[in-house]
Structure formats: structure tokens, C-alpha cells
Amino acid sequence: MISNNSSLSNPIPLEKAGATAIAGTPRGIPEPSDRIESTPVEFSGLGSEYFRIWIVNLLLIMVTFGIYYPWAKVRKLKYFYNNTRIDDHALEFHATGLMLLRGYVLGIILFSIFSTAIEFSALSGLIASVILAAVSPVVFRGAQRFRMANTSWRGMRMRFVLKDLSEAYKCVMPAALLFLLPTVMSVFVAEQVLAKNQEIKLLIGLAIASSLTFFVTFPYFFWRIKRLQHSHFAWGPLKTEYRSEVGDTYKIFAWTLVVAMLIAVAFAVIVFALIPNSAGSIRKPGGVIAAFSLLVPLFFLFAITINILPRAYLTAKMQNLLWSRTGNRHFRFKSELATGKFIVLQFKNYFLILITLGLYWPFAVVATQRMKLEAISLKTRVALDKLTDAARARENDAAGDMAADIFGFDVGM
């Protein structure tokens, strides 16, 4: 059985032969041995190569007023998939732009419904929110099934094997409602302010309460959605499971908040320390310009730091948690993304994007993906060749699921 130890530093252990499997041992799959083999993920993409794809995509999206976006997304995914290799075998993405177009149109329709409804009135916005929340689990499952069904490794398609939609409704629908309600409540408040309603204080309180509820419960629903997602990946007959306690996710979000608060406090201390000098210099000739030349760069630096550092910290810690807790008794993943190096890379990327007026963007994307992917390795207790042969022999058992998955859709999830 997989260990229930929820320490962030300890990944899911591979069980010894004879232990209970997560989802049982599929017939024909070799029993796991005591020997663990480690296979790193390799990424061979180059910024110069992706730059050409990116600039063409950007121009075609602009001249087609966004219609080309699904085809641009396919070109991007194919490039990154084809340059990601495990055991010298690249991932492949099989979807076409036309296949993605359906999900793209669906996303636009759903967004338009909510935007139009919220502009009409808060009540219609509330009704639209309920409708969107009701369809969100179906959209979520369809997107996951589409992406996995169109991803292959060693010639075998992957799958997302969530069959019971009730699980998706329990995870996704409440999260969607909590995400949409603060916007609806703010519109209610605006309408009542214009109408000079005496109950405005109550409405403001409800708006604040809905925002705080979303803020406090976001890590919980994030954990539930990721557990749902990572517990239903399948390759051949082998299915993964995600083993992590909700407290692990809350710890990461809490430390991210601490990092953001420390940055804010540090900059506040610096600014307040400089205010007396700035106030004194204002009275002198050219003092206003001198004060602005000192304080404005500080606020600009604060805006950059608060935008990059907490987000980079959250990304690194969450990747390590999510992938190091995903696996089964035959294989598991391990992610060792160095937080400090990842943060430094993001500051470097941001700086180079600024001084190149955005042209460094594709190079930054490639550098980020390289560090994230190459931090992951695949741990197995069965030789990959044997595991692949056995899985391929059993792949036909999933033919029915595959047929259903092909008719899913992708909305960028």
C-alpha cells in the first residue's frame, strides 16, 4: 500500500512486490520487483526554434482576429511534446486545429453568456453563474479526456478514465460557483449603490464574505480537483492515483502568502524610511523630480517582485508535490524542481522580456519548460520495455474508453 506519509519532501514510495496495488495489478502486467529504475525526462527544445513558431502564430492570430488560435495551440503543443523524451521516446500530440476549434468556440460561448448576463443585471449574472457551474464538470472531464486521448508515448495513447460524473460535480461545481459569486456580488453592490438602497452595508458584507470564502477554500478545491485529475490518468491498463493530504496543499499556499507579505513589508519599510528624506528634498529646487526618481523605481521594483517571486515559489513547490505524489505500485513520478533556481530563472526571464520589448518571450517559455520538465523523473519497479510490451498487449481492453475519449474537447484546461 502507498504510504500515507504526507511530508512534502517524501514522494510516494514504490511498493515492494506482493504489496497491495492502488488499483490492483492488471492481468498480464509483470509483478514489481525490489529494484527501482530511474528514467529522467529530457527536453531538447530550443528558444530559437520556438521563436519561429511563436512569431508566425502571433501574426496569424492577429490577421485572422483570433480564429487561428486553435491551430496555433496545436503547433505549440506538438513542438513541446515532440521535444519531451522519456527513455529516448518522445511524447506525441495527435489533435488538429479543427478538433480544438470546437472547444475554443465553446469557451467563447460560455464566456459570452456570463459577460452578457452580468452586464444586464446581477440577477441574470447569478443565474448564468449557476448554469456555468452546472456544466463545468462536464467541460472539465471532456477537456481532460480529449487531451489524454490525443497524447501518446511509445505509440500508446493515454487516457483519462473518470467515468462517474458525480465525482467531478462534487469537486468542480462548488469551485466554479465560489469563483463566479464574488463578481456577481460586486455587481449587486454596484446596483444597490446606484439605487441608493439602505441595505447596502449588508450587501457589501455579503460581497466581502463571498470573496473571503473563495480565498480560504481555494486550496481545498484546488487539492480536490488535482486529486481527481491525477487519480484518473491511465496508460494502457495502468492507472495512477494521487496520494496527498489537503494540509500539504494548504501549507504551500500559506507559505506563498507569507512570501508575498514579507515582500510587501520589506518594501513598506524601505519606502517609509525614505519618505522623510523625500519630503525634505521636495522643498528644494528640483526636489519633486528627485523624490519621484527615487520612489517610482521602488514601486516598479515592488510590482515586479510581488508578481514574480510568490508565483514562482508556488509553481515550484506545487509541481514537486503534485508529481511526487502521483503513481502506482509499478511506477511513480518524482519532481525535484529547485525553488531557488526556478525563482532566479523567472527574474532573468522577466528582465530579458522587458529589455527586448517582449521578443524574448518564446526563449523564456522554453527555458521555463526545460527546467520544469528536466526536474521530473520516472521511477519504475518493472523494466520499461517489459512494462510497455505488457501494457500494449492489454491496450485493446480500453478500446471502448478510447472511442469515447476521442470525442471530447479541449478548452485549454
* 176-196 pLDDT per residue, tens: 988 888 777 777 777 666 666
Q: Is the model's pLDDT at 149 over the cut of 50?
A: yes
Assigned domain for 76 exists = yes
Of 336, 342, 335, whose CA–CA distance to 315 is shortest?
342
Give domain status of residue 69, yes or no.
yes
Mean pLDDT of 153-174: 89
Tens of pLDDT, residue by residue over 96-127, are: 999 888 888 888 888 888 888 888 877 888 88
Kindly indicate the confidence band of residue 324, based on its pLDDT and cuts at 50, 70 and 90.
very high
CB distance 321 to 336 below 8 Å: no
Bridge partners (DSSP) of residue 353 are: none
Q: DSSP E strands: which ranges in 151-310? A: 151-153, 156-160, 233-235, 238-239, 241-242
Q: Give me the half-sphere count of Cα atoms (radius 13 Å) on the Cβ side of residue 317.
A: 18
Q: Could you give the 3-state DSSP secondary structure of residue 277?
A: helix
- The backbone torsions φ and ψ at residue 254, rounded to the nearest 5 degrees and listed phi first, read -65, -45
Q: What does the buried/exposed string (b/e) look like for 327-366 if buried means 16 or more CB atoms within 10 Å of the residue's CB?
A: bbbbbbbbbebeeeebbebbeebbeeeeeeeeebbbbbbb
Look at residue 277 in the predicted model and tell me its pLDDT: 58
Residue 52, domain member (yes or no): yes
Question: What value does the mean pLDDT take over residues 197-210?
Answer: 70
Residue 366 lies in a domain: no
CB atoms within 10 A of CB 239: 18
Question: Count of domains in the chain?
Answer: 1
Does 390 fall in a domain? no
52-72 burial, b at 16+ Cβ within 10 Å, e below that, comes to: ebbeebeeebeeeeeebbbbb
Is pLDDT larger for residue 382 or for residue 281?
382
The DSSP result for 8-69, as a single string, is TTSPPPPPPTTSPPSS---TTPPPP-S--EEEEEEE---HHHHHHHHHHHHHHHHHTTTTTH
The Cα 408–Cα 178 span in angstroms is 26
Percent of the chain with pLDDT over 90: 48
Helix, strand or coil, per DSSP, at residue 300: helix
C-alpha–C-alpha distance, residues 206 and 199, integer Å: 11
Within its chain, how far is the Cα of 357 from the centroid? Answer: 26
Instruction: Give the Cα separation of 349 and 352 in Å (integer).
Output: 5
Residues 19-24 have a mean pLDDT of 40
What's the mean per-residue pLDDT of the chain?
Answer: 82
From the centroid of its chain, how far is CA 4? 25
Half-sphere exposure (Cβ direction) of 297: Cα atoms closer than 13 Å: 6
| Any domain includes 77 | yes
Output the CA torsion sign for 344, 81, 150, 334.
Answer: negative
DSSP H/E element including 165 = helix 165-194
Is 395 within the bounds of a domain?
no
In which domain, by residue range, is 63 found?
A: 46-82
How far apart CA 293 and CA 308 sit, in angstroms, is 23
* CA gap 101, 99 in Å, rounded: 5
* pLDDT tens profile 65-93: 999 999 999 999 999 999 999 999 999 99
Any domain includes 120: no
Neighbours of 36 (CB within 10 A): 13
How high is the pLDDT of residue 276?
A: 60
